[in-house]
Amino acid sequence: MPERHVLPISELRPLIKHVAVKFGKFTLRSGRESTYYVDKFLIMSHPVLLHCVSHHLARILPEGTVAVAGVELGGIPLVTAVSLASGHPAIFVRSAKKSYGTGKRVEGLYDKGMKVTLVEDVVTTAGAALDGVETLKAEGLRVLGVVAIVDRGEGGREAFAKAGVLFKPLFAIEDILKA
């Protein structure tokens, strides 16, 4: 497989807008209505976008990160790509405990006390991400923060701050919409 070039952030903004931002009437996970939607699955399924955002996310991981975590479903391809880009093991957080096999809600290579960063795609209110943070903490992991591709600017940053969780997005939605 040929080595792929990592596009600079300035070139990613218009590409994300072109590929993954849809305009119309949408209901978000939070229940809010929106006139636009950032389709994370279009980012995850686009090889150039996934490659580039994962490398940029790997570059902004908080110092001391030794593993990266993602919440199913959308977080799994992204955290896997960030794991490959950073060289850190991946941890997978289920949205609910499974009733078969090991019955674990947290899967992957980790030890209690390990410093982990949660990787998110699009943050609106931060509800799903904060649930993932709490799940990781309950498993005995030390969560250093959350990195994300896009901050929609709809309360997520404030929710992370209130919870005492470091939050580092690659993009504010305004920057993508203006691209």
**Whole-number pLDDT of residue 73:** 81
DSSP 134: H
Which residue in 13, 136, 21, 29 sits closest to 74, CA to CA? Answer: 29
Task: Decide: 113 and 144 in contact? Cβ < 8 Å.
Answer: no
pLDDT in tens, 111-170: 999 999 999 999 999 999 999 999 999 999 999 999 999 999 999 999 999 999 999 999
**Whole-number pLDDT of residue 102:** 62
pLDDT in tens, 69-114: 999 888 899 999 999 999 999 999 987 666 665 667 899 989 999 9
Which alpha helices (DSSP H) does 87-140 contain, by range?
Answer: 127-138
Task: Decide: 81 and 58 in contact? Cβ < 8 Å.
Answer: no
Report if residue 157 sits inside a domain: yes
Report if residue 2 sits inside a domain: no
**Whole-number pLDDT of residue 31:** 83
Higher pLDDT, 73 or 42: 42
Q: Residue 47's domain spans which residues?
A: 9-178
Report if residue 148 sits inside a domain: yes
Main-chain dihedrals φ then ψ at residue 96, nearest 5 degrees: -150, 150
Which residue in 117, 64, 108, 70 sits closest to 89, CA to CA? Answer: 108
CATH assignment at residue 85: 3.40.50.2020
**Whole-number pLDDT of residue 25:** 95
The reported pTM is 0.92
Report if residue 78 sits inside a domain: yes
**Whole-number pLDDT of residue 99:** 61
Q: What is the C-alpha separation between 50 and 106, in angstroms, rounded?
A: 23
**Whole-number pLDDT of residue 98:** 64
